[in-house]
Structure 1
Amino acid sequence: MVSGEESKADLSAGEAKLYDRQLRLWGVEAQQKLRATNVLIAGLNSVGAEVCKNVVLTGVNSVTLMDHRNLGKSDFPGQFMAPFDTIGENRAEASVERLSSLNPNVKVTASNVNLSEVSDEYFDQFNIVCVIDYPFEVVNKVDAICRSKNISFLVADCFGAFGYMFSDLGENFKCHSETEKKAPDGEVTKIVEHHEVTFKSFQDSIPFAIFDEVLSKQQKTNKVLLLSLLKDQLVSKDLLAAEFDVIVDEFLEVSSKLKLDADAMPMYLLADASFHQMKGNAEVAAVLGGVIGQEIIKIASRNDKPFNNFFSYNAVDCVANVVPL
């Protein structure tokens, strides 16, 4: 893993002017840590577009975009980083020009390699890896690699009116939080608390292939998690574009594998999941992109405790929550 302490030099006058608002928010030290951070974002759908925009604007050192898939009409309007006239071109490569123009201080590069085919050593150049819209089998493999190398790992997806983010920051993630206490005489004291947080791996948290495991209460009741398990099963069987009746049957199969009563499954949400629309919902993608951008800032700066470990957003029921899986 690339050290986050490599660059501690003072910010240039240009950077101080460009990042003036965020410097007032989280300070020079946090900005320096961001500037020394290298991020891989794999998966340039609508969520990926939102994430890379937010990350580049924060002023990290570099962002590498990765996607082996080409742009289709269904990617728009959610994938706003690529011009419409680049349909048929690689998702990542078509997004570089617009993304680079947002912040010339950030090095933006693209790779059209399939994430499942890169070597373990490839990840050594990154501090943070964010994987979006990939099968759970690939996600699990990449998470295991990142965890072994102490690289912070995030995975996210968006389907219809639903989206989620899962984070694995390792067994001993150290960070701090700052609060202010005002005395009766008006004197303000800054209080700094140090934290050491343990995160579970993807495999130990999401029962994507271990259906015989006993589910926790949070897993059983989280509707977005259950829908994400269904989507992964549809992907593995190449059924994303299947008829609705087929999708219902697959969801019932998921409930059986998880040993859940079919009545407990959120069947009423299936129509709003829109699995066949690969782009997801642009508004939901914007929410996810904002949350993931915030988490990347926390991870890079070690300022404030990150979400541990599953954030879900349900636009139908207007519910967003964070639960430990």
Structure 2
Amino acid sequence: MEGNPLPDGSVPTDVNELSDPAAMAMNGNTFIPSVPALGDLNGYAQMPDPTFGAMTLPMNGVQSGMFTGAPQPTISADEIALYDRQIRLWGMQVQEKLRGANILLIGMKGLGTEVTKNLVLAGIGTLTILDAGLVTEDDLGTQFFVTEAQIGQNRAEAALPELRKLNPRVELYTDPNPVITKDPEYFQNFDITIATGLTLDILANINMSCRMLNRKFYAADTHGMYGFIFADLGIHDFIVEKPRSNKPAKIGDMETSTRCVIGVDSKTEGGKITDIITYQENYSPMQLANLSPLPAKVRNTRRSRMRVTPLLSCIRALFDFQTQSGGRLPAHNRADLELFTRLANQKHLELQLPLEILRADFLRGFLQNLGSEISPVVAFLGGYLAQDVINAIGQKEPPLQNTLLFDGEDFTASQFSFHPINDDAMSMMNTNEGAMMPEPVQTDGSIPVT
């Protein structure tokens, strides 16, 4: 696998495919040691992150928003025929980038299954599925790559035979080890890491590992009729083509508070001028985004605040509950229900949202959905997430910035861009002696699945 070293502990779908030894031994180690200050993260170079003004975040290597995949392989005539329809949609260049992409997916339950299906059908180069969990009867409802006869087998390995049939050209690997055993350097092997079904503490650790290695990161989860997607692509460049307007874009223009024009070109076809604009988008890590206020345009008017889904307060409350409770979900007892309700109201007030939109029936419905998966919901979120990953790889469309919340009860999907106010972020960093990540949580060695 030239240019695509296989992480130690991964299992190839065909041992005859292996020609190179594993890049490095990564298994059996503690995932996150005691968290150092940002100024001294394992010797990685510190680089300014425009999202936070003068604050520096660990970004290994040269700061760049260009996709960092391996050199793009030449697509064969057979592949052109196979991918003809999507090549017509997004072009040969994007398909070549997909062909060279190396992706890690963590968690092979229903949501991970949908993401995997869509990425494999799209023709990515290499996919590693990391999941230490075993197939259970509950998985049969949404994990359509496994059967009842495979109950008790590793989830990732059980799905491989059917997954391989979808697209034999994609190199597939599994890693049956718990994610908490992975050192930060493990994630350097992958262009994009997609983490599903994990607690905020573990997600934040993975996110910061990806960020300091200049790798892109997605997090997602579903709970019955509800779900979320989060993206941290670091510094990400993408190109948009659009008809010339009365006010052409100029280098340095700020389209949003996180999006800047860094390149402008044009082409003329049939007497019509098309601008080719290169944007640079700056992202925030999940730990800071989760502590950030709503965008100013939302919080500045009551009408806008009234339209914010109460799911936002509930998701943040769930993150806090799991942090305080060792990663578990709220049980159906009085103490847990009171704690979750108190946390939800606290998050609601922190977001400056009207109390009347956090209704008792919504809280009750959210709690009843926790821990379950529903096929239509995982299909929608899995499809959306896979498409956004394709956009990030292809760099031809603006990807998610940075949070999507899905409410299946109301059939609504809301996008929010959460970024800390610079002074507040600096204050938080100084208060916590530079530690952005939570302390490691004690686990029993299994992957927490929410």
Normalised to the residue count of structure 2, the TM-score between the two structures is 0.65
The total of aligned residue pairs comes to 316
What SS does the corresponding residue of 2:222 show, helix, strand or coil?
A: strand
Contact 2:95-2:123 at 8 Å conserved across structures: yes
Contact 2:313-2:347 at 8 Å conserved across structures: no
CA distance in 2 between counterparts of 1:322 and 1:33 reads 27
1:270 corresponds to 2:363: yes
CA distance in 1 between counterparts of 2:244 and 2:362 reads 45
> Which string of whole-angstrom CA distances, capped at 9 and with x for unpartnered residues, describes residues 277-300 of structure 1?
634221111110111111111111
1:240 corresponds to 2:329: yes
CA distance in 1 between counterparts of 2:409 and 2:271 reads 46
1:197 corresponds to 2:290: no
1:251 is matched with 340
Displacement of 1:151 in angstroms is 0.6
What aligned pairs does 1:16-27 form with structure 2 within 5 A after superposition? 16-27=80-91
Unaligned runs of 5+ in 1: 208-213
Displacement of 1:244 in angstroms is 6.3
Q: 1:297 aligns with which of 390, 402, 424?
A: 390
Residues 111 and 299 from structure 1, CA distance in 2 versus in 1: closer, same or farther, beyond 3 angstroms?
same
What SS does the corresponding residue of 1:76 show, helix, strand or coil?
A: helix
1:216 corresponds to 2:294: yes
CA distance in 1 between counterparts of 2:217 and 2:68 reads 15
What SS does the corresponding residue of 2:91 show, helix, strand or coil?
A: helix
Displacement of 1:231 in angstroms is 3.1
Contact 2:70-2:101 at 8 Å conserved across structures: no
1:231 corresponds to 2:324: no
Question: What is the aligned-residue identity percentage?
Answer: 26
1:82 is matched with 146
CA distance in 2 between counterparts of 1:5 and 1:74 reads 36
Q: 1:34 aligns with which of 98, 105, 108?
A: 98
Q: 1:143 aligns with which of 199, 207, 215?
A: 207
1:310 is matched with 403
Displacement of 1:52 in angstroms is 0.6
What aligned pairs does 1:167-186 form with structure 2 within 5 A after superposition? 167-170=231-234, 172-180=235-243
Contact 1:231-1:275 at 8 Å conserved across structures: no
Over the residues paired in the alignment, what is the CA RMSD in angstroms?
A: 2.6
1:152 corresponds to 2:216: yes
Residues 274 and 99 from structure 1, CA distance in 2 versus in 1: closer, same or farther, beyond 3 angstroms?
farther
Normalised to the residue count of structure 1, the TM-score between the two structures is 0.88
Which of the pair is proportionally richer in helix? Answer: 1
CA distance in 1 between counterparts of 2:191 and 2:358 reads 38
Residues 222 and 31 from structure 1, CA distance in 2 versus in 1: closer, same or farther, beyond 3 angstroms?
same
- The one-letter amino acid of 1:231's match is L
Larger radius of gyration: 2
1:11 corresponds to 2:75: yes
> Which string of whole-angstrom CA distances, capped at 9 and with x for unpartnered residues, describes residues 232-275 of structure 1?
34545265362165554133221354372865534322343356
Residues 245 and 318 from structure 1, CA distance in 2 versus in 1: closer, same or farther, beyond 3 angstroms?
farther
Contact 2:313-2:345 at 8 Å conserved across structures: no
Unaligned runs of 5+ in 2: 5-66, 246-268, 300-304, 419-450
Contact 1:50-1:285 at 8 Å conserved across structures: yes
CA distance in 1 between counterparts of 2:194 and 2:147 reads 23
Contact 2:225-2:407 at 8 Å conserved across structures: yes
